[in-house]
Structures are given as C-alpha cells and as structure tokens.
Amino acid sequence: MAKKVRAVMPYIRKGIVNFKMGPYEAWGNIGGEVAVTRYPCIRKVAGFFHNHELPSLWKSKKEARLRFMEPINRMFDAFPDYVSYEIIPFIWDCWPCLDNRMSRWLKKHDVKTAIFTSRQNAARIQERFPDMNILVVTEGVDISKHNEGNSLDNG
C-alpha cells in the first residue's frame, strides 16, 4: 500500500520573505493534500529546534509529510513531523559547505525521497545516497522575490 503524501505549510515569520510558500501553494493548486499545521509554542522554543532534535518515536505507515526546507534550518523546518512521519524534504539551495550536515540529517531520518531546487546539489546528494529517489524542481524558486545583486560574471 502506498503512503498518502500531505504537504505542511511552512512556518511564516512576520516580515520575512518566505520562498517556501510558492511551491506549497502550487501543491494545493494541483490538488495535493495538505496536513494540519502544528507549530506548538513556536516562539518560545524556536531556538531549541534550530539546534536540537527529538527522537523519531514511530513512523506512520499510512502517511508521509512533504516539508519545504532550507538546509540551514532543516531541523526546525521538519519539526515536529520528523518525529512520527516519513519526511519528503523539498530542499532549497544547499551550498556545498552544508552538504555534510544535510547528509547526516537525511541519513538520520532515513529519507527515501528528496526534492531539490538545485541540480548541482541534487547530483552531490545522489552520489552520497545512490538508492535515494532524487527529484529536481528548478521551478520551485520564485525569482521575483529575489533582490537583484551584483553580476556573478568576472568580466
């Protein structure tokens, strides 16, 4: 029996641009199921869940949770669902300097499927986890929310 996949709305901090809302809304627009959002007492304990994780107590055999994540905030962005659900992370640009941390997290939570907005990141993670189902959705980044900066060209 296949698991039902439900997306969880990303946590929204007032006054902060949240790039994760676009793909979340797109999921709902195409008829994807949405889970009830649970962020208990988040303001008081947010710092704790940026740096610490609870153990995975049990995993639902009927449902997986699609979580929209930034590698630097992986523990917070997946909380509290990593405790009792299989997590399918939708991961924003993961810089190479974060690969080791992200890889440890993916292994710890026995991630079977991951979605990336960066082809380069997806290729690096696929090398480390050849059995993982890796998807790339470059359209997952809404570039209209980015501030234009300096050119990356040298000339």
Question: Where on the phi/psi map is residue 144: left (φ > 0), alpha (ψ -120 to 50), or beta?
Answer: alpha
- Mean pLDDT score, 15-38: 83
Q: What share of the chain in percent tops pLDDT 90?
A: 37
Rounded Cα–Cα distance for residues 17 and 35 (Å): 22
pLDDT at 152 over 50: no
The model's confidence at residue 62, banded by pLDDT at 50, 70 and 90, is very high
Asked if 68 and 10 count as a contact pair (C-beta separation under 8 A), the reply is: yes
Highest-pLDDT range among 13-22, 94-103, 119-128: 119-128
pLDDT at 37 over 70: yes
| The two three-digit tokens of residue 48, written as one number | 């704790």
- Mean pLDDT score, 90-107: 87
> How much is the mean pLDDT over the chain?
81
DSSP 3-state of 34:
strand
CA 30 → CA 27, 33, 34, 103, distances in Å? 6, 9, 11, 30
